[in-house]
Chains A and B, each alone.
Chain A
């Protein structure tokens, strides 16, 4: 005997109609406002498209993007190198070493990057004779190198805090277990502590990369022709606001792409932690 369900005579329940609340009206209004703003910017960029200006400033902007990218990449890499001893200092039990590392980190995190950049770039000018004597003047007279130096020192302070915090966040049982297995300190650090710590540090590191890209615009103030510098140059020549809008679009796209890539990478690297 097979039971067959009688075809239902009832209609499926009507879809719940969403009510018009104040929040919905406000949301719609704001979205329309954003859309209008976006459209007017697109309109401005399309209507204001000027082949002459593009030919004149386009290559400059492209070279600016390139300068920004390698300025940021170089600073971040140097920052990683400098941050290792600083992080070690922050974790040290020796009060003098710990104090020095804390002072370094506090100075670079507590003062504006712009002021630090001025301190290095213009400050070096006060010691021209001394720097020439030891052959370092070639380095310090170049705004690009000064920017790299300042940004590396600055990001190293932040990266050291990230690294030290991540290492501290690994439970002490991990150390004890490794000790009881008779592993050497270096092996414990490299094989047990760091792999776990770096997973924790992944997100803050991603934030630091994005902050660095944004902060690199500061280099333009000491005459480095990065994306911002080229934009400022083009604006001062043409007095055309579109150039700033283009720069804004480029920065936004760069940051968004990077953020998403980092999210993907994090998901891939933490796939063993997901349940």
Chain B
């Protein structure tokens, strides 16, 4: 037992600090992906909700692709494909190669996946808002953007929150995939620790527990957000 405590200690002998740094990378990656994914997802949902069939179809193609591909494959396509495309472009423009950052590649790939699921969540939330809300806002003389921002969006957040909470937990888990393209997240650092210490079961169990702790903390945070989002609902 003391042996295991030493393995997890911070400093030169233990792996506690490496794991902590990995947790930091995992959390910041998920947090950096979230706004991007939410924004794209929202725009896609607006497009799917449009009365214009061309725009609706374009949005549905997006969802079909990124919900149908394995997350790992999306990641590789973005990482290697981006690497090749950017290198070709850079060689054309500046005459030297370009190194794709695995953090950015991971962020883009995760945002594509997250947004395609989020757009479905937003879409069903849009359907939960009655037409009268739009009509009421227009009758008050609000412009379309202001209607969206002041009337629809606050209700949309409340309706979409349960679905988005699930997506956040999925996102947190999906970040583990970036360890495959060399980003030193929690799982990657755990792998390194295993390579040195040969205590595979112990370290992967610790990693799993850390992921669990992250989702438990998220659940508490999300519950507070949902209390905030439902503050206008009154007591029932």
Contact residues of A with B, CB < 8 Å?
A: 21, 23-24, 26-28, 30-31, 33-34, 106-107, 110-116, 118-119, 122-127, 210, 213-218, 220-221, 228, 231-232, 235, 241, 244-245, 247-248, 251-252, 255-256
B191 / chain A contacts, CB cutoff of 8 Å? 118
Cα(A98)–Cα(B216), bound, Å: 19
Interface-central residue, B58, B77, B191, by most chain A CB under 10 Å: B58
Q: Is the interface of B mostly helix, strand, loop or mixed?
A: helix
The answer to the question of B198 belonging to the interface, with a C-beta cut-off of 8 Å to chain A, is yes
Partner of A115, one of B52, B53, B176: B176
Interface size on B, residues (CB 8 A): 50
Partner of B204, one of A118, A127, A213, A228: A118
Cα(A204)–Cα(B161), bound, Å: 20
Could you tell me if B70 and A23 are in contact, using CB atoms closer than 8 angstroms? Answer: no
Which chain B residues (57-80) contact chain A, with CB distance < 8 Å? 57-59, 61, 64-65, 68-73, 76-77, 80
Could you tell me if B176 and A21 are in contact, using CB atoms closer than 8 angstroms? Answer: no
A228 / chain B contacts, CB cutoff of 8 Å? 70, 72-73
Interface-central residue, A217, A221, A247, by most chain B CB under 10 Å: A217
Cα(A125)–Cα(B158), bound, Å: 47
B71 / chain A contacts, CB cutoff of 8 Å? 214, 217
Nearest chain A residue, comparing its CB with the CB of B201 = A123
Could you tell me if B50 and A27 are in contact, using CB atoms closer than 8 angstroms? Answer: yes
Cα(A240)–Cα(B52), bound, Å: 39
Could you tell me if B55 and A107 are in contact, using CB atoms closer than 8 angstroms? Answer: no
Cα(A21)–Cα(B198), bound, Å: 63
The answer to the question of B24 belonging to the interface, with a C-beta cut-off of 8 Å to chain A, is no
Could you tell me if B54 and A31 are in contact, using CB atoms closer than 8 angstroms? Answer: yes
Nearest chain A residue, comparing its CB with the CB of B179 = A114
Looking at the assembled complex, report how far the CB atom of A153 sits from the nearest CB atom of chain B, in whole angstroms.
12
